Structure 1
């Protein structure tokens, strides 16, 4: 009988907007997880050939025991990030596995209610020439869903993340 550890290739899948967090927060988080023996998937920019999630990235999500989603100011401006979020919620959370949001320099209510940068990003997606109403609604629902999960609120002026329950 395979153990839980054998079932998954990765312990954690990290989802984030690279331009906001890759070189500071994500780099430190990834190193801290790796130093503790937690096998963590972090995407390589080479995987992003276009705006669609590749089968290899979907496989990495499916092969992860849990996901940490770092919701930063520009996360929702990326259709790639929004599609990744939707896929994570579909492949991980809906199968009873854990998803932890980290609200990095953003208020969870802004994500939930699509305010400030999250609202602006959704307006931009809606105005896009290839906007798909069904897809946009899926992304909005995914943002609302992740903002309602227990997670952490991180601000640069704080020494640690504050748990949100």
Structure 2
């Protein structure tokens, strides 16, 4: 009962599927807008801040709540991302949520070199020279540098000369796959199931360009449903769509 309650409370915590962090002057009306619309078409509830002008240096409580209430944060690193104190404070919050709430974080490198983000050089260099001069004696810049290093070291997406439509398609596929991967409960103590799963999986030849149908037959109570669920869970990451039923 404890694990069921924990799972239920986790689901209720999420207000949004995705939080989009981006530099408005770079991508609001171009890449990020296209990505947001693609997420909506895919049925993903994504939060995108609509306010053009940010006031002050601290993000609002509403925005912080949106970050904490999102299952996945997507960070669009672009040319002027490092200039924005607002974006950097968002990033710190996102990385804190990753560490404390288990939030998934995907960096997108939109015409910026991931190593430049990681090391704050290149396009990010002049911005951080200004930050260092402005915030002498505070820990702000060190927190931003730590957050950038952490985010840039995560597995993400680099456009690197690709067509934007194909690039967005791959991002949507990855996000939808993560959101839809709900594992089925097999059993508390699935003794001896691994060898049976391996036997059937060897017959499936997953990865071949064909269709396989497997029937599991036997008397009641011997674990047919548990076996089917275990196989489903094993391959849940491999398919764009899936469903389960008990006949």
**TM-score, normalized by the shorter chain, greater than 0.5:** yes
1:84 and 2:90 aligned: yes
Runs of 4+ in structure 1 off by over 4 angstroms are none
- Aligned residue pair count: 161
TM-score when scaled to structure 1? Answer: 0.89
| C-alpha distance in 2 between matches for 1:73 and 1:105 | 7
Per-residue CA deviations over 1:14-62 (Å, capped at 9, x if unaligned) read: 0000000011100100000011110000012168332210111101111
Q: Indicate conservation of the 8 Å contact 1:101/1:151, yes or no.
A: yes
1:133 and 2:142 aligned: no
Q: Indicate conservation of the 8 Å contact 1:100/1:149, yes or no.
A: yes
CA RMSD across the alignment: 1.9
SS of 1:142's equivalent in the other structure is: helix
Q: Indicate conservation of the 8 Å contact 1:47/1:54, yes or no.
A: no
Q: Rg larger in 1 or in 2?
A: 2
Q: Indicate conservation of the 8 Å contact 2:21/2:90, yes or no.
A: yes
SS of 1:92's equivalent in the other structure is: helix
- Unaligned stretches of 5+ in structure 1? none
SS of 1:133's equivalent in the other structure is: coil
Higher relative contact order (CA 8 A, sep 6+): 1
| C-alpha distance in 2 between matches for 1:58 and 1:31 | 22
TM-score when scaled to structure 2? Answer: 0.61
| C-alpha distance in 1 between matches for 2:70 and 2:105 | 11
Partner of 2:162: 158
